[in-house]
Protein backbone atom coordinates (compact mmCIF):
# COMPACT_ATOMS: atom_id res chain seq x y z
CA UNK A 1 0.00 0.00 0.00
CA UNK A 2 2.12 2.91 1.11
CA UNK A 3 5.22 3.08 -1.08
CA UNK A 4 8.06 5.47 -0.39
CA UNK A 5 7.56 9.10 -1.33
CA UNK A 6 4.60 11.47 -1.04
CA UNK A 7 4.74 11.08 2.72
CA UNK A 8 3.00 13.49 4.98
CA UNK A 9 6.09 14.36 6.97
CA UNK A 10 6.01 18.13 6.58
CA UNK A 11 6.06 19.76 9.98
CA UNK A 12 6.19 23.28 11.29
CA UNK A 13 7.97 24.09 14.54
CA UNK A 14 5.69 23.13 17.40
CA UNK A 15 4.58 26.09 19.50
CA UNK A 16 5.79 26.21 23.10
CA UNK A 17 2.80 27.25 25.19
CA UNK A 18 -0.41 25.21 24.77
CA UNK A 19 -3.55 27.24 24.05
CA UNK A 20 -6.37 27.46 26.59
CA UNK A 21 -8.68 25.11 24.69
CA UNK A 22 -12.41 25.59 25.35
CA UNK A 23 -13.94 22.98 27.70
CA UNK A 24 -15.92 19.99 26.40
CA UNK A 25 -18.72 20.49 28.92
CA UNK A 26 -21.48 20.28 26.29
CA UNK A 27 -20.51 16.62 25.76
CA UNK A 28 -21.87 15.26 29.04
CA UNK A 29 -24.24 13.56 29.47
CA UNK A 30 -24.65 12.02 26.03
CA UNK A 31 -25.81 8.85 24.39
CA UNK A 32 -23.18 6.28 23.30
CA UNK A 33 -21.23 6.99 20.13
CA UNK A 34 -21.11 4.52 17.24
CA UNK A 35 -18.26 3.38 15.00
CA UNK A 36 -19.42 3.37 11.37
CA UNK A 37 -17.44 1.22 8.96
CA UNK A 38 -16.67 2.98 5.67
CA UNK A 39 -14.08 0.49 4.39
CA UNK A 40 -13.28 -2.66 6.41
CA UNK A 41 -9.97 -2.41 8.28
CA UNK A 42 -9.18 0.96 6.71
CA UNK A 43 -11.70 3.74 7.37
CA UNK A 44 -14.27 4.26 10.13
CA UNK A 45 -16.20 7.34 11.16
CA UNK A 46 -17.88 8.44 14.37
CA UNK A 47 -20.91 10.50 13.31
CA UNK A 48 -21.99 13.29 15.68
CA UNK A 49 -18.82 12.97 17.73
CA UNK A 50 -19.10 16.65 18.62
CA UNK A 51 -22.32 18.71 18.59
CA UNK A 52 -22.37 21.62 16.15
CA UNK A 53 -22.34 24.11 19.07
CA UNK A 54 -18.95 22.78 20.23
CA UNK A 55 -17.60 22.82 16.64
CA UNK A 56 -18.64 26.47 16.36
CA UNK A 57 -17.02 27.35 19.69
CA UNK A 58 -13.81 25.66 18.55
CA UNK A 59 -13.72 27.33 15.12
CA UNK A 60 -14.05 30.77 16.77
CA UNK A 61 -11.33 29.88 19.25
CA UNK A 62 -8.96 28.30 16.71
CA UNK A 63 -9.26 31.31 14.40
CA UNK A 64 -7.42 33.29 17.12
CA UNK A 65 -4.38 30.97 17.08
CA UNK A 66 -1.22 31.88 15.14
CA UNK A 67 -1.83 29.61 12.14
CA UNK A 68 0.95 29.44 9.59
CA UNK A 69 0.32 29.03 5.85
CA UNK A 70 2.30 26.09 4.53
CA UNK A 71 4.52 26.81 1.57
CA UNK A 72 3.08 25.56 -1.74
CA UNK A 73 6.40 24.02 -2.73
CA UNK A 74 7.09 20.94 -0.58
CA UNK A 75 10.48 19.46 0.25
CA UNK A 76 11.51 16.44 -1.82
CA UNK A 77 9.25 13.46 -1.10
CA UNK A 78 6.60 15.51 0.72
CA UNK A 79 3.00 15.97 -0.41
CA UNK A 80 1.85 19.37 -1.63
CA UNK A 81 -0.15 20.75 1.24
CA UNK A 82 -1.62 24.18 0.96
CA UNK A 83 -3.41 25.15 4.15
CA UNK A 84 -3.03 27.14 7.33
CA UNK A 85 -1.80 25.10 10.21
CA UNK A 86 -1.15 25.27 13.94
CA UNK A 87 0.81 22.49 15.59
CA UNK A 88 1.43 21.88 19.27
CA UNK A 89 2.76 19.10 21.54
CA UNK A 90 -0.03 19.05 24.10
CA UNK A 91 -0.30 15.81 26.07
CA UNK A 92 -2.95 17.26 28.34
CA UNK A 93 -5.29 18.21 25.46
CA UNK A 94 -4.68 14.81 23.80
CA UNK A 95 -5.67 13.13 27.06
CA UNK A 96 -8.81 15.23 27.36
CA UNK A 97 -9.75 14.56 23.74
CA UNK A 98 -9.29 10.86 24.42
CA UNK A 99 -10.98 10.57 27.81
CA UNK A 100 -13.53 13.37 28.06
CA UNK A 101 -15.25 13.11 24.68
CA UNK A 102 -16.36 9.46 24.67
CA UNK A 103 -13.64 8.61 22.10
CA UNK A 104 -11.83 6.19 24.41
CA UNK A 105 -15.08 4.40 25.25
CA UNK A 106 -16.13 3.89 21.64
CA UNK A 107 -12.63 2.91 20.41
CA UNK A 108 -12.11 0.47 23.31
CA UNK A 109 -15.68 -0.85 23.04
CA UNK A 110 -16.57 0.11 26.64
CA UNK A 111 -19.75 1.72 25.35
CA UNK A 112 -21.21 1.11 21.95
CA UNK A 113 -24.42 2.25 20.30
CA UNK A 114 -26.53 -0.66 19.00
CA UNK A 115 -26.23 0.57 15.41
CA UNK A 116 -22.40 0.77 15.48
CA UNK A 117 -19.67 -1.66 14.49
CA UNK A 118 -19.67 -4.46 17.09
CA UNK A 119 -16.19 -5.87 17.71
CA UNK A 120 -14.87 -8.52 20.04
CA UNK A 121 -11.61 -8.02 21.91
CA UNK A 122 -9.49 -9.90 19.37
CA UNK A 123 -10.90 -8.16 16.29
CA UNK A 124 -10.61 -4.81 18.04
CA UNK A 125 -6.92 -5.34 18.81
CA UNK A 126 -6.35 -6.44 15.22
CA UNK A 127 -8.26 -3.46 13.85
CA UNK A 128 -6.37 -0.80 15.80
CA UNK A 129 -3.03 -2.61 15.43
CA UNK A 130 -2.53 -3.34 19.14
CA UNK A 131 -3.63 -2.13 22.56
CA UNK A 132 -4.72 1.48 22.18
CA UNK A 133 -3.26 3.62 24.98
CA UNK A 134 -4.31 7.13 23.94
CA UNK A 135 -3.88 9.86 21.36
CA UNK A 136 -0.74 11.39 19.93
CA UNK A 137 0.19 14.56 21.84
CA UNK A 138 1.07 16.11 18.47
CA UNK A 139 -2.12 18.09 17.85
CA UNK A 140 -2.51 19.70 14.44
CA UNK A 141 -5.12 22.25 13.48
CA UNK A 142 -5.82 22.86 9.79
CA UNK A 143 -7.75 25.64 8.15
CA UNK A 144 -8.32 25.42 4.40
CA UNK A 145 -9.63 28.53 2.66
CA UNK A 146 -11.02 28.63 -0.86
CA UNK A 147 -8.45 27.15 -3.24
CA UNK A 148 -6.52 25.27 -0.52
CA UNK A 149 -6.09 21.49 -0.47
CA UNK A 150 -3.89 18.61 0.70
CA UNK A 151 -2.56 16.66 -2.27
CA UNK A 152 -2.43 12.84 -2.46
CA UNK A 153 -0.14 11.30 0.15
CA UNK A 154 0.30 8.56 2.76
CA UNK A 155 0.43 9.18 6.52
CA UNK A 156 3.41 7.84 8.43
CA UNK A 157 3.38 5.83 11.63
CA UNK A 158 5.54 7.42 14.34
CA UNK A 159 7.07 6.29 17.59
CA UNK A 160 5.73 8.42 20.43
CA UNK A 161 5.48 8.50 24.22
CA UNK A 162 2.03 8.54 25.79
CA UNK A 163 2.37 10.13 29.24
CA UNK A 164 0.89 7.88 31.90
CA UNK A 165 1.14 7.18 35.61
CA UNK A 166 3.17 5.59 37.15
CA UNK A 167 5.17 5.20 33.91
CA UNK A 168 5.04 6.81 30.48
CA UNK A 169 4.10 4.38 27.70
CA UNK A 170 6.31 3.88 24.63
CA UNK A 171 3.83 3.69 21.75
CA UNK A 172 3.45 4.01 18.00
CA UNK A 173 0.73 5.64 15.98
CA UNK A 174 -1.46 3.32 13.89
CA UNK A 175 -4.51 5.32 12.75
CA UNK A 176 -5.00 8.98 11.79
CA UNK A 177 -7.77 10.87 13.59
CA UNK A 178 -9.45 13.74 11.74
CA UNK A 179 -12.18 15.72 13.47
CA UNK A 180 -14.12 17.90 11.04
CA UNK A 181 -15.47 21.13 12.51
CA UNK A 182 -17.15 22.47 9.36
CA UNK A 183 -19.24 21.16 6.46
CA UNK A 184 -21.59 22.28 3.71
CA UNK A 185 -24.06 23.26 6.45
CA UNK A 186 -21.54 25.83 7.73
CA UNK A 187 -20.77 27.13 4.23
CA UNK A 188 -17.81 24.93 3.33
CA UNK A 189 -18.06 23.57 -0.22
CA UNK A 190 -15.60 20.87 -1.36
CA UNK A 191 -12.74 19.77 0.91
CA UNK A 192 -13.83 16.13 0.97
CA UNK A 193 -11.27 13.58 2.17
CA UNK A 194 -10.81 11.08 -0.65
CA UNK A 195 -9.18 7.64 -0.45
CA UNK A 196 -7.80 5.74 -3.42
CA UNK A 197 -7.82 1.94 -3.08
CA UNK A 198 -5.01 0.08 -4.81
CA UNK A 199 -6.02 -1.81 -7.97
CA UNK A 200 -6.39 -5.56 -7.21
CA UNK A 201 -3.79 -6.35 -9.90
CA UNK A 202 -1.55 -4.61 -12.38
CA UNK A 203 -3.24 -3.47 -15.60
CA UNK A 204 -6.62 -3.57 -13.83
CA UNK A 205 -8.60 -0.37 -13.57
CA UNK A 206 -8.35 1.05 -10.03
CA UNK A 207 -11.51 0.80 -7.88
CA UNK A 208 -13.66 3.90 -7.45
CA UNK A 209 -12.24 6.34 -4.91
CA UNK A 210 -13.97 6.56 -1.54
CA UNK A 211 -15.20 10.09 -0.99
CA UNK A 212 -15.92 11.14 2.56
CA UNK A 213 -18.03 14.29 2.65
CA UNK A 214 -17.38 16.75 5.44
CA UNK A 215 -19.78 16.63 8.37
CA UNK A 216 -19.26 19.12 11.16
CA UNK A 217 -18.64 17.15 14.35
CA UNK A 218 -17.84 13.86 12.63
CA UNK A 219 -14.57 12.10 13.45
CA UNK A 220 -12.81 9.97 10.85
CA UNK A 221 -10.20 7.34 11.63
CA UNK A 222 -8.06 5.73 8.95
CA UNK A 223 -5.25 3.23 9.10
CA UNK A 224 -1.80 4.68 8.46
CA UNK A 225 1.81 3.57 8.22
CA UNK A 226 2.66 0.60 5.97
CA UNK A 227 -1.02 -0.08 5.19
CA UNK A 228 -2.07 3.53 4.68
CA UNK A 229 -4.26 4.20 1.64
CA UNK A 230 -3.33 6.98 -0.75
CA UNK A 231 -5.59 9.90 0.19
CA UNK A 232 -6.10 13.63 -0.19
CA UNK A 233 -8.05 16.59 1.16
CA UNK A 234 -9.81 17.95 -1.91
CA UNK A 235 -9.71 21.63 -2.76
CA UNK A 236 -12.08 23.84 -0.82
CA UNK A 237 -14.31 25.68 -3.29
CA UNK A 238 -16.05 28.05 -0.89
CA UNK A 239 -16.05 28.84 2.81
CA UNK A 240 -13.56 27.40 5.30
CA UNK A 241 -12.69 23.83 6.24
CA UNK A 242 -11.42 23.30 9.78
CA UNK A 243 -9.94 20.04 11.06
CA UNK A 244 -8.36 18.86 14.31
CA UNK A 245 -5.82 16.07 13.69
CA UNK A 246 -4.22 13.57 16.02
CA UNK A 247 -3.51 9.81 15.86
CA UNK A 248 -4.40 6.64 17.74
CA UNK A 249 -1.42 5.25 19.66
CA UNK A 250 -0.86 1.59 20.54
CA UNK A 251 1.52 0.17 23.12
CA UNK A 252 4.85 -0.72 21.56
CA UNK A 253 5.67 -4.36 22.09
CA UNK A 254 9.08 -4.65 23.75
O1 LIG B 1 -7.81 17.49 5.55
C2 LIG B 1 -8.02 16.37 5.08
O3 LIG B 1 -9.11 16.04 4.61
C4 LIG B 1 -6.91 15.35 5.05
C5 LIG B 1 -5.82 15.61 6.04
C6 LIG B 1 -4.72 14.61 5.95
O7 LIG B 1 -4.67 13.81 5.05
C8 LIG B 1 -3.64 14.58 6.96
O9 LIG B 1 -3.70 15.29 7.96
O10 LIG B 1 -2.69 13.80 6.79
FE1 LIG C 1 -3.15 12.33 5.50
List, run by run, the mean pLDDT of 10-residue segments along the chain (254 residues): 57 71 85 93 97 97 95 69 93 97 94 88 96 98 96 96 96 98 98 94 91 98 97 97 98 86
Q: Closest Cα to residue 69, out of 141, 157, 167? A: 141
Distance between CA atoms of residues 55 and 111, nearest Å = 23
Ligand 1, atom 5: closest residue by C-alpha: 233
User: Which of 178, 196, 215 to mutate to test ligand 1, by most ligand atoms within 8 A of the CB atom?
Assistant: 178
Distance between CA atoms of residues 73 and 31, nearest Å = 45
Distance between CA atoms of residues 103 and 46, nearest Å = 9
pLDDT recorded at residue 10: 46
Complex prediction ipTM: 0.99
Please name which ligand lies nearest the alpha carbon of 229: 2
Q: Which atom of ligand 1 is nearest to the CA of 212?
A: 3
**Domains recognised in the chain with CATH numbers:** 36-70+81-251 (2.60.120.620)
pLDDT recorded at residue 30: 80
Contact predicate 18/92, CB 8 Å: yes
Does the C-beta of 155 come closer than 6 Å to ligand 1? yes
Amino acid sequence: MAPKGKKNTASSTPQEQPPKWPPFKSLVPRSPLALKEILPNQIVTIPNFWPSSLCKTYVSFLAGLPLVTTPGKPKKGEAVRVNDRFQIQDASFAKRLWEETGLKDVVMGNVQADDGLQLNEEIRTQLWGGEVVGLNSNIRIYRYNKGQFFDQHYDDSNNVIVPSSPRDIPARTTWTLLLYLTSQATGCVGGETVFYPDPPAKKVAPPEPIIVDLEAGMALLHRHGAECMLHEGREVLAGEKWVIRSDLCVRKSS
